[in-house]
Amino acid sequence: MDHFLSRIEMFKRLTPAQRQHLAGLSREKRYAKGETIFREGEPAEAVCVVKEGRVHLMKFLESGQTSTTCVMTPGEPFCCLPALDRKPYPVDAVAAVDSVVVRIPTSAFHEMLQQNPSFLEDSLCLFCDRLRAVEHRSCTMHEPVERRLAQTLLELSKKFGTTIPLTKHELAEMADTTVETTIRVLSHLKKAGIVKSSRGSTTIAKPDRLKTLAQHRSTEY
């Protein structure tokens, strides 16, 4: 466990003794595809880190719609904010594929924040980056869906590279639109040669053109 944590940027700021202490308290747990790791409103018992697989942080709205706020990949901690304010989990976390998650007790994580200023600083920077991303998404809710989907693909490419292993249904949940609209937009992008779409994944073929679409309101491809 210590070896795993030592490879994650924010945990590198801990001393070897602090990291070993945290590793000794942490536990691995396997989750099957579709299994819930925790639910919104539950007591935040652990800060989690993806070791294998992929985890989606999701909001289930009263309208019946589902919005994916973040996609977490191996090496990424998630829902660390409750370690600061001791409040419940703000979202649901669901294993998008078979996954392994390292669970660090919230109390131990909070203790490390108090003991190590560098670790606290890195953690706060991570929280701020995540909050900015969520705020940016909320500000684009009324943008054309083509632009939102282009922005979603570009953001995901930072994690996965040019080939993004998400289904059209998952992309729709990230772009806050319907599956039908996502299929239609991807079909247009495919015809324009901007993306290559296959079952379960989308490949960005022309990043520059996708960036142009993400930055402008025009629906011309």
Domain boundaries, the chain: 2-139, 145-215
Give tens-digit pLDDT for 96-149.
999 999 999 999 999 999 999 999 999 999 888 888 877 776 666 678 899 999
Round to whole Å and give the CA distance between 61 and 146: 23
DSSP string, 73-100: -TT-EE--THHHH-PPPSSEEEESSSEE
3-state helix, strand, coil in the chain (%, to 5): 45, 25, 30
pLDDT band at 210 (very low <50, low <70, confident <90, very high): very high
Give tens-digit pLDDT for 10-65.
999 999 999 999 999 999 999 999 999 999 999 999 999 999 999 999 998 777 77
Query: pLDDT at position 198, please?
Result: 87
Task: Return the CATH architecture of domain 2-139.
Answer: Sandwich (2.60)
Please report how many Cα atoms fall inside a 13 Å half-sphere around the Cα of residue 51, on the Cβ side. 19
Q: Is residue 72 predicted with pLDDT exceeding 60? A: yes
Round to whole Å and give the CA distance between 68 and 151: 14
User: What is the fold of 145-215?
Assistant: Arc Repressor Mutant, subunit A (1.10.10)
Give tens-digit pLDDT for 135-158.
776 666 678 899 999 999 999 999
Query: pLDDT at position 134, please?
Result: 74
